[in-house]
Amino acid sequence: MNRLFQLELVKIADGFQTKSECLTYLTALLAESGCLSFPDRFLAAVKGREDIMSTGIGKGIAIPHARDLTVSCMKVAVCLIRQPLEFESVDDLPVQLVFMIAVPQSASKEYMKILRSLSEYLRQSENRDTLINATSETELYNDVLKIEEIITDSINS
């Protein structure tokens, strides 16, 4: 399995004007990593999913995601947003951590395991706090690598 998280896909941003701007930024990161053949189509799939129901899962976390034919390999772009962003979350709180998951059409079992492992990990307040308090992208990346280990174990079990 390729790495889900890569240093160049883990960013700290001061803030975004809108949820759409944030989603566009993360899609561009995934496109640069080489896993999206048609970024516009992937972004449309993510936004379509957001229109049905926000992926703001609460407690300052959003996990926008889409499974699409144009995705060549599974990757996760991560953004810590210093200025909390309105995301229409289930708890109506703004988000500070966004994990955008790009999933190939064929990977539905792994997809569900990644979503479950990620949301279970982020449910723990100490895990969220560690990520939110990261002072550099390298520190944030090292913190998300712990999540990758949990996800990899889940996929392989």
Q: Give per-residue pLDDT as tens, 117-150.
A: 999 999 999 999 999 999 999 999 999 999 988 8
Q: Write out the two tokens for 47.
A: 């936004």
Average pLDDT for the chain: 93
Domain ranges of the chain: 7-156
pLDDT over 50 at 97, yes or no: yes
CATH number of 7-156: 3.40.930.10
pLDDT for position 95: 97
Which residues are identified as catalytic? 65
- Strands 65-68, 10-13: pairing is unpaired
**Residues found in the chain:** 157
pLDDT for position 2: 66
User: Distance of CA 102 to CAs 48, 90, 117, Å?
Assistant: 14, 22, 16
What is the full DSSP assignment across 109-129?
HHHHHHHHHHHHHHHSHHHHH
pTM of structure:
0.95
